[in-house]
Homo-oligomer: A and B are copies of this chain.
């Protein structure tokens, strides 16, 4: 790409045309009340005439700070993160701030590159879904004076703020719902416990079982799937259906997995929910639009982002750990007549 050749018109050009000093032009732009109406009009005319646009870099260099925040999520194409981003954007918008958004692809190097870029550009703070378990680099950033808010992950460092969703409670609510419906033998299609969300959701299901006086050892079949999508759901469900003592309900680690489960059950002509109840997680947009509308755990994604931005904009310097409670959305895949 060729460099931008045309020199941008500067405040000096405007001043020359309006026959005033640069200071006056600056005053027209920033404190119009301190300028007499006649000069102001002349300056404004010159601005439109030259179609002058302020140079943000110079402005910011002098001011030392800007009304911009950065956010790094794992993947901008994932509906979960876009809803979060939307919440962030809405809160920043209220405060007159703007957002620089980037995705790290779970690559710590990419994350580091974007963090550096953001810092160089003088953002007020950053909201980050960390790519790895290590958050020392974020602490360093905080020590250098940036506001740092962790997204979708409780902070292990008390100096850093965070917003997260209580996965354990969400999974417990889902399991409790099934137990209330009379199910006493559950399957759980889950990812590896190295992923924090997976471990937490597993723990939540255990909680609900124990609370109901059921023994997880005999009442829960946790099946580890590698792909947390429809194919993983299909593979897991096939294993569930092959069991000698077949569970009566299947919990899925997310809605895509549940989609695969429903597909497999249909193929095997197992009615839902009478032959097998199914619960998803995330409550993605299409969960309610499926052939069998899916009971799912809704995460307050928008609120998550909104609150994160709120913490970033907070007046005091203290860190805060916010945990949201998810909400069970009951649909026909557990309570229907099929």
Contact = CB atoms under 8 A, between A and B. Distances in A.
Given A4-B64, A262-B291, A53 B98 contact: no
Contacts of A102: 89, 98-99
Interface string A1-23: 11111111000000000000000
Given A57-B60, A120-B59, A263-B289, A77 B76 contact: no
Contacts of A100: 100-101
Interface in A284-338: 286, 289-292, 312-315, 317
A274 interface: no
Contacts of A55: 61, 120, 122
A53 B119 contact: yes
A231 B53 CA distance: 45
Interface string A46-64: 0000010111111111001
Interface of A: 1-8, 51, 53-61, 64-65, 76-77, 79, 82-83, 85-86, 89, 95, 98-103, 114, 116-117, 119-122, 124, 140, 144-147, 230, 256, 259-260, 262-263, 266, 286, 289-292, 312-315, 317
The 5 lowest CB-CB distance pairs between A and B, nearest first, are: A291-B291, A56-B120, A57-B61, A56-B121, A6-B145
